[in-house]
Structure 1
Amino acid sequence: MELNKAVIDCMRSLRRRLRDEQQLDIHLDQPDAVTAMLAGCMNSNDELTRELGRQLAVFSDRLPAPPPPRAASSGATVRIYRGQRVLA
């Protein structure tokens, strides 16, 4: 991962927010700092913290896993139309 000003600023903001919200003490020189910050963001209830976590994931090429697909309701059928799921 390339460390530039945007990445460092994002990590500093996240570090402060996670320390205030969850009392996580993450140092930027830790080998697993990015992993610890992303884990803290997933546990956060604050939308801004989660957004900063998404930015850090993009910067570090660690995109989060896609959410599991939702099961269709019992009475509705699902069709695929132009690559998109559509309730029929």
Structure 2
Amino acid sequence: MEFNKSVLDCMQQLRRRLRDEQQLNIRLSQPDAIQAMLTAYLCSGDEMTRDLGKQLATYSDMPALFTPPSKPAGRSGPSVRIYRGQRVLG
């Protein structure tokens, strides 16, 4: 991965936001700093943090691994629960 100004700026902003939100201490000099930030942004509830994480994921070599799964549009049909090991329509 090539580090340029935009990548480093994105990493610094995301690092600050994760430190404030989740009390994570990620140093940019860590060998797994990008992976740690990408893993942590998936747990964030803040929209700005998620946008920065998505931006960093596109800069990295593995964006498909760290993009959050899309939410299903809606379920059609009854819900299914598990009760005492048996499937129960809910």
Q: TM-score range by the shorter chain?
A: 0.7 to 0.9
Q: How far is the alpha carbon of 1:61 from its aligned partner?
A: 2.3
SS in 1 for 2:44: coil
Q: 2:67 & 2:12 partners in 1: Cα distance?
A: 24
What is the number of residues matched between the two proteins? 75
Q: 1:6 to 1:43 in 2, by over 3 A?
A: same
Q: Deviations over 1:51-78 (max 9, x none)?
A: 1000000001221357378475129xxx
Q: 1:16 to 1:69 in 2, by over 3 A?
A: closer
Paired position in structure 2 for 1:16 = 16
1:74 aligns with 2:77: yes
TM-score, normalising length from structure 2? 0.74
Contact 2:57 2:67 in 1 (8 A): no
Q: CA RMSD in A?
A: 2.1
Q: 1:44 to 1:4 in 2, by over 3 A?
A: same
Q: Which runs of 5+ in 2 are unaligned?
A: 79-90
- Larger displacement relative to structure 2 (3-12 or 61-70): 61-70
Runs of 4+ in 1 over 3 A off after TM superposition: 68-72
Paired position in structure 1 for 2:40 = 40
Q: How far is the alpha carbon of 1:40 from its aligned partner?
A: 1.0
Q: Which runs of 5+ in 1 are unaligned?
A: 76-88
Percent identity (aligned): 57
Q: 1:49 & 1:18 partners in 2: Cα distance?
A: 8
